Structure 1
């Protein structure tokens, strides 16, 4: 019996030794990101191991995740979850969460996220997540506004990241060349840069340039608007050999190439480093800013998006991280920035799974909350590398979604902006009394001052307006005799969305302005003229100074002047007299510094618009009543 126990122990020790050897090999392959081989080694180890540590299950899950085998990734993560809680380490738990998203188990993914974010020390992160999650629920219920089409140029290999060089369509691909080496991580050929004049004709694909072609990874690209410079990323090499750091890691670096030279040479940019990667450059149309992705120290997650200034001599400023509103604990990639809108891809914001494409409006030095671009253009696969096309509301992106031709494919999209409508609603209040204001006007403007639509508030001071998606508006609330209140609004890409609580508070200006129906006038005491005279006397000057003060307080105000006489004298005489009074009033205001173009007109109406009816059918007026008819009024046209 002792002999059997001894043999069993020896056998167990031998198996344990074999298992430990498999584990050491698997961990080494995992450390080199050689995931295809690491998966086999981990499975071999697990088959012979008596127990498996939670770290090994977690690594196996992450290995399958990188191989895009999400079914097996989920099995490994469930085993990890059974013996170790990922709740305290979101950087590890994230990939379990995203595996659930990849498999479209969104409710379970959200439950996992809520467990982590419910902890007190993650309160701020919870608020951001909760806002994005509510937007995502709307997206799941919305119709798509995108039509996408797989391009004929795609191959059985990875094809992604479109850009434009003059008339050429440039992209990155691992399509096999005879001298391409094989990338250990996923057993596919290394990347190269290709071009094609017409992306709908696959036979025309050719290598972009032999001068910058290397045996290792080259891509992705971005070009200055004039076509002179190309920015692109490449595996760091010395001669024909990769350069590794002390940890046996090779990094990407960004280069600039002057394409006007006969022999193309790579210029290494100064912000590259020896222990981190930089890649996915995007140079803005004006050539003054360079966006890129990097895992340099000091970021918020794995790869973050940065920007630096590009000076006239080609040198750059120190990179600036775009901050936690954009960057997350995992990968944030592929920036595209135009017209103060940043498009980028992220695995860390709430979305359909993997990399989704987002947009963020940039204003006053701040990036707004990222907005998911919606279904169809985003899926539970990796969707990335957004770039605008040459026609309005068209563009290209890349994806490894089901139904493609290879690993990553390039897709063309059309955005049906006119089909996307949203609603905004709110209430207009009196600033001081806090009461809602009926019959106030809410006006929408596009293109800064072009009126788009307008509505009056109801008896409860409420309004609702229909707007287009993905459009910038200015909204203004106003009412005769009140101040104005306004805000700028940029709508997102969620069809049918209602933005509520867009409220306005306007101040009663009855001490400054008076109203006659919809006509607004500057409130001053009557400006009396002496009988048959039009000169501005000292009494009239006191009231006119009030007009000057009001117009200085409202520098955008435009008025018109209307002058009137009493009913004594002939019609013709009174018409001439009132015109002289109007022009004298205008000239006095101009002499006190009011610009002439702020007074649209100065018109005399004679005796045609009296306040008091006199000298008709035996009706006589007192001198006070006659003087009330001799007046000038200041009609507010704009303020």
Structure 2
């Protein structure tokens, strides 16, 4: 009996210890102290018999935030595969991202596809498939980037960057001696450092950017006005020299503005900061008119979204505008950088290599285009973020915690080899009426509106294939003798080796557009009617004249002559003059639409001498319709 009681006491004691250790681990997890939480969970697992589904989720969180992705994946799997687990978007994302971090992309795809099928719309699932197709095409091709680790990185976190004249200002936790240590992962707080980028070499030692601005906590991600007088940056929210915590024991980032011309700079808390939420990663456009930033404030599409404010001349701001769901995802979107109508940003929510990837979006007419992944090498299965262009073309900097670096996050230099980026366009040319493919049709590619870039002929199946450059605007046109033309505008993206398929053209057979009048061959169009006593080309006449242009484009060797006529009202002299003006106006209109002047042999007005309808001198026997039929232009084929 005593032995039984001894073992019962031992079991109860062990159970009590296990429960106490779990409560300790959960508290550490909930206050983001992941290093200590991991140790506590490991001690708990060593004694626990049955582990609750929610506990596995928290263990997955802990290892994910410590970047131990294999352990995170194993814990999340136990949570995710339990049919009783509750849907949680953040943990669901982190589970699929742990697959991406381990380069197990097919398994990550299965997780996302299941989510969209069960919890989202058909349109969003289709958009995901399209984005995944672009990504799969991307990873099969060569990179456009050459990257190297910057010489000024330390053994601690170094990331971000912006220019203040020739100074490169970045964020770093290298100042271990002077900075306090964070409770979350026992690393020093961030400070702003700078160096003369032209002197960036192994001997260069970055200096603290401004001791008067530095706080005892996080100071990071700065940007500057073009004149260098004003700085925007993110800092831990403080009251005096103490951090301010909200209800869930979190200290948030806020964006501040500082006038650098003052002897003692003062931090100005900007009005769009929201209490209880973070704002950070500010980027000011070169003209100073717009300030982009990231925030997890309410009303977004995910954890952190990208916003923009107008900056008015008096220094005030417009209400922040969210950049919308095409750019912002269901998780984190950070580090905006806007230049030359292109927005670069980092996102964890779009289809990518893992963690944060860098993307670009073309901005036009107030709309941001589909995000484009910048591709392999510059993006990896680690966090890759904080894109910024360098002082010389096609160079720049970004940050990453990829393997092989010097510290936690490192800054990398890149060179962008755009001239190596080629894509392909393919499709088929069809007869518009019969839908049959047309062999020996010509497909021409134009750059800079009308400069011929390349040209091919379709094969026996009507198919063609053209090579194009990335990030270039083209016009592509299909034509064949005796047919109309068909064309479209083509804007290529930054995906190397991509083939854009099914760019098909349908052109119309114009061989039956001719008619004969005795021995004379004419272009068969509806009569070009003119208003009474007028010779200008009205909108109705222009429709018919465009048909003449199409025919002459289809037959590039064709030569015509124009004959214009009036009705029988008015004097012979007046009608001869009026018809001549009509013939010349018709000729000029054709020339204005690209028809060479030497392809129009003559433009003659015959007055009232060749009427279709014969009217008596007083015109009593002709209707207005019959008079209008006499006021016409005709197109005589001289050669084709």
- Normalised to the residue count of structure 2, the TM-score between the two structures is 0.79
The corresponding residue for 1:77 is 76
The corresponding residue for 2:585 is 589
Decide whether the 8 Å contact of 2:305 with 2:334 is kept in 1.
yes
Tell me how far 1:405 sits from its aligned partner. Answer: 0.5
Distance in 2 (alpha carbons) for counterparts of 1:30 and 1:320: 33
The corresponding residue for 1:163 is 162
**What is the 5 A alignment of 1:56-205?**
56-81=55-80, 83-84=82-83, 88-119=87-118, 121-198=120-197, 199-205=200-206
**Residues 1:306 and 1:431: Cα distance change in structure 2 (over 3 Å):** farther
Tell me how far 1:562 sits from its aligned partner. Answer: 8.9
Decide whether the 8 Å contact of 1:148 with 1:377 is kept in 2.
yes
SS at match of 2:414: strand
Tell me how far 1:210 sits from its aligned partner. Answer: 1.9
Decide whether the 8 Å contact of 1:586 with 1:602 is kept in 2.
no
The corresponding residue for 2:388 is 387
SS at match of 1:220: strand
* Of 75-84 and 138-147, the range deviating more from structure 2: 75-84
Tell me how far 1:362 sits from its aligned partner. Answer: 2.8
The corresponding residue for 1:534 is none
Tell me how far 1:460 sits from its aligned partner. Answer: 4.2
Q: Residues 126-182 of structure 1: CA distance to partner in whole angstroms, max 9, x if unpaired?
A: 223222222222233222222111011000000011211111111111112532111
Q: Residues 293-351 of structure 1: CA distance to partner in whole angstroms, max 9, x if unpaired?
A: 11111222211112222222222222222222222222111112222322211112222
**What is the 5 A alignment of 1:193-232?**
193-198=192-197, 199-232=200-233
Decide whether the 8 Å contact of 2:329 with 2:349 is kept in 1.
yes
**What is the 5 A alignment of 1:123-522?**
123-198=122-197, 199-431=200-432, 434-438=435-439, 440-477=441-478, 485-506=486-507
Decide whether the 8 Å contact of 2:54 with 2:85 is kept in 1.
no
Decide whether the 8 Å contact of 2:561 with 2:637 is kept in 1.
no
Tell me how far 1:120 sits from its aligned partner. Answer: 6.8
Distance in 2 (alpha carbons) for counterparts of 1:212 and 1:495: 44
Say how many residue pairs are matched: 582
The corresponding residue for 1:549 is 541
**Residues 1:284 and 1:544: Cα distance change in structure 2 (over 3 Å):** closer
**What is the 5 A alignment of 1:508-587?**
545=537, 549-550=541-542
SS at match of 2:16: helix
**Residues 1:605 and 1:82: Cα distance change in structure 2 (over 3 Å):** closer
SS at match of 1:221: strand
Distance in 2 (alpha carbons) for counterparts of 1:595 and 1:153: 65
Distance in 1 (alpha carbons) for counterparts of 2:72 and 2:48: 19
SS at match of 1:465: strand
Q: Residues 605-631 of structure 1: CA distance to partner in whole angstroms, max 9, x if unpaired?
A: 999xxxxxxxxxxxxxxxxxxxxxxx9
SS at match of 2:204: helix
Decide whether the 8 Å contact of 1:154 with 1:202 is kept in 2.
no
Decide whether the 8 Å contact of 1:446 with 1:472 is kept in 2.
yes
Q: Residues 381-412 of structure 1: CA distance to partner in whole angstroms, max 9, x if unpaired?
A: 11111112222222111111111101000001
Distance in 1 (alpha carbons) for counterparts of 2:42 and 2:601: 101
- The root-mean-square deviation of aligned C-alpha atoms, in Å, is 4.1
* Of 186-195 and 368-377, the range deviating more from structure 2: 368-377
Distance in 2 (alpha carbons) for counterparts of 1:604 and 1:432: 29
Distance in 2 (alpha carbons) for counterparts of 1:565 and 1:10: 113
Distance in 2 (alpha carbons) for counterparts of 1:584 and 1:383: 71
**Residues 1:177 and 1:90: Cα distance change in structure 2 (over 3 Å):** closer
Distance in 2 (alpha carbons) for counterparts of 1:226 and 1:307: 21
SS at match of 1:203: coil
**What is the 5 A alignment of 1:605-624?**
none
Distance in 2 (alpha carbons) for counterparts of 1:541 and 1:429: 44
Distance in 2 (alpha carbons) for counterparts of 1:606 and 1:146: 57
Distance in 2 (alpha carbons) for counterparts of 1:68 and 1:114: 25
* Of 3-12 and 181-190, the range deviating more from structure 2: 3-12
**Residues 1:272 and 1:565: Cα distance change in structure 2 (over 3 Å):** closer
* Of 372-381 and 449-458, the range deviating more from structure 2: 449-458
Structure 2 gaps of 5+ residues are 516-521, 564-575, 603-633
Tell me how far 1:88 sits from its aligned partner. Answer: 4.4
SS at match of 2:387: strand
Distance in 1 (alpha carbons) for counterparts of 2:418 and 2:202: 28
**Residues 1:7 and 1:474: Cα distance change in structure 2 (over 3 Å):** farther
Tell me how far 1:8 sits from its aligned partner. Answer: 3.4
The corresponding residue for 1:44 is 43
Decide whether the 8 Å contact of 1:65 with 1:95 is kept in 2.
yes
Decide whether the 8 Å contact of 1:524 with 1:543 is kept in 2.
no
Distance in 1 (alpha carbons) for counterparts of 2:536 and 2:424: 45
Decide whether the 8 Å contact of 2:158 with 2:411 is kept in 1.
yes
Distance in 2 (alpha carbons) for counterparts of 1:606 and 1:367: 51
Structure 1 gaps of 5+ residues are 515-520, 528-537, 567-579, 608-630
Decide whether the 8 Å contact of 2:535 with 2:581 is kept in 1.
no
The corresponding residue for 1:573 is none
* Of 19-28 and 453-462, the range deviating more from structure 2: 453-462
SS at match of 1:117: helix
Q: Residues 66-124 of structure 1: CA distance to partner in whole angstroms, max 9, x if unpaired?
A: 11112322332233345457694443222121112212222332333333334374533
The corresponding residue for 1:533 is none
The corresponding residue for 1:33 is 32
The corresponding residue for 1:13 is 12
Distance in 1 (alpha carbons) for counterparts of 2:119 and 2:61: 28
**Residues 1:332 and 1:484: Cα distance change in structure 2 (over 3 Å):** farther
